Chains A and B, each alone.
Chain A
């Protein structure tokens, strides 16, 4: 007990965030229509976007907004997709029957001792390196004490004064619809900790229910510098964190399941004022668009209070984002600093990393989203294409495999972003669910480019490939779709069509040259759509204009 006190006396305080301030830019402050953004991930439900076009607050005057500056920082909790919990071997499966994945360690029973899962360190090092952080070769775990029914031990094992990674950065490309642009946001720290259980509040009745399956599941907390200025920037930062953890395969990054949770810190102050505004924390943000809308709402709310001379009504508090009313509401007011009485976790040894270990992880890192985007950009793809393709790791892998097979970059991008994306959206499947392989897409593109089949036929085949599978060659053969590129063959058909339509031929030669289209259509019909259009037109024109 006394040790606790001593330790407490001499260790450092809760992290205080350095702040960077900036002016709000008027064009994207208060309205947020997320409908076109690239932020959504493939599993996003359509319905979620509905209603997002709604105006979220009374329209603030641009002039007023220009008079204020906002500071936004984000704390992200990433649930690691390990097989077992952080400090015990309990399996963790989302959606398992309540209170089935428990043991003396995660239940906090006396005498049970935690043992760290090696995968947690691996994930932390991966994320730390991917975020350009400095890694601590010696870090440790600390106890963060608080009383709450979802926390069986009465403390959370976390990292306090020596996080495993710190001082990094994250590069982000803003969506093209919002003017695009590249941003680099600072990362304050990344640390390892365990999750708490899940509390369910029953509608009626004066009790709550606790499920401790999640208690002890490993998390990484990623804290950003307060470098963001707008809801869009914050949402894109969060989306990039999601991309990063998915690329690294350390988490499924699923916001709906709570595998990726964002808490936003936001303050507003009059432009030019030296002191920071009062910081408000927003929770319950379970989609990127809610991150963006909640922030824009909160900026408006705080600016309104400032302009009405009611700035003192902005208090340090935690607010909840209400999806229904599109507003933030007070959850709890903070009365002074929370007293977590951190001290080093005596049941766990320190966490030591060797240079070799870090190097081996570093050299096994996959290509990260930012690197991928720059590479795609250098291939000559438009930013819209780049952002789409790199957004989802499975799509990016499919695209990479397709072009690795020799497919034309732009054509591959067009097929994936056009017909393939439309099909996936319609059938609500991901690119790994469709039966089309990257090899076949490559073959398809080559077949069209080589003239074996027309683009139109290609489309036809594509849908069949996606739905039923098979090969391009097989389908071309089965459907007898090989394009007619033999001029003699086409000439024969043209001759037949001209012979069958003497009247029209006469009219054409009498000056009604518009009839060329009619003839072209007839020839195409006669060839069952297989005549090469270019050759067809060439030969047709020759024949039509022939003197005899």
Chain B
């Protein structure tokens, strides 16, 4: 797990010439200090997690479509923070002499030929759909995204 995470982190630090980019993966109000900080990290190559701001748990819950009570928000904040700090230790690894990789190494390409194959047990999939009617999946009326 940690190795994989390490790879991802390596990757991200090298793929991205960070100077002009603003963080938008996560919106600024979740991880606001990124812009400046990532830039510094990049140039110094010394990583530290101590400056991470506490996560905005309410917003994280919203983006994940999870309902949390205010008590839960209180409770989860420090826990999430703990996990992040734990993974944050990876930032201490010296990557000065490490070649960048954008993905974890895998053995060869894993691609397939373009040959159609019908999945045999589609009925079982359909059977698990909570609301299926007239060949369609029935969902609450939606007109707009977001």
* A residues apposed to B, CB below 8 Å: 1-3, 5-14, 82-84, 89-91, 97-104, 107, 109, 115-119, 121, 138-140, 145-149, 161-162, 199-202, 205-212, 331-332, 335-344, 346, 348-350, 352
Contact = CB atoms under 8 A, between A and B. Distances in A.
Given A100-B122, A344-B103, A350-B106, A339 B26 contact: yes
Task: Give me the 6 closest cross-chain CB pairs, A-B, nearest first.
Answer: A13-B24, A350-B103, A103-B119, A91-B116, A209-B136, A8-B25
A209 B138 contact: yes
A12 to B, nearest CB: 5
Contacts of B145: 146, 148, 332
Contacts of A139: 102
Contact of B111 (A103, A121, A138): A121
B8 A344 contact: yes
Contacts of A13: 21-25
A316 B144 CA distance: 15
A540 B86 CA distance: 106
B63 A91 contact: no
A14 B109 CA distance: 28
Is chain A's interface secondary structure helix, strand, loop, or mixed overall? loop
Given A10-B13, A14-B24, A148-B145, A140 B87 contact: no
Interface of B: 4-5, 8-9, 11-13, 15-16, 18, 21-27, 31, 34, 38, 55, 63, 65, 80, 83-84, 86-88, 90, 102-104, 106, 109-119, 122, 125-126, 132, 134-146
By CB atoms of chain B within 10 A, which of A3, A10, A90, A209 has the most?
A10
Given A2-B87, A115-B110, A352-B109, A207 B8 contact: no
B15 A162 contact: yes
A208 to B, nearest CB: 5
A348 B88 CA distance: 25
A207 B137 CA distance: 10
A336 B144 contact: no
19 contacts: A6-B5, A6-B9, A9-B26, A10-B18, A12-B18, A12-B21, A84-B116, A115-B112, A118-B112, A118-B113, A138-B102, A145-B63, A201-B141, A205-B141, A208-B138, A210-B136, A335-B146, A339-B63, A344-B103
Given A9-B31, A212-B137, A116 B106 contact: no
B98 to A, nearest CB: 15
Contacts of A103: 119, 122, 125
Given A82-B114, A346-B4, 7 more contacts: A5-B31, A8-B25, A10-B16, A83-B115, A102-B122, A211-B135, A212-B137
Chain A CB within 10 Å, residue with most, of B25, B112, B122, B126: B25
B15 A11 contact: yes
Given A147-B65, A341-B25, A207 B140 contact: yes
Given A149-B142, A332-B144, A349-B109, A9 B24 contact: no
Contacts of B26: 5, 8-9, 339, 341
B103 A349 contact: yes
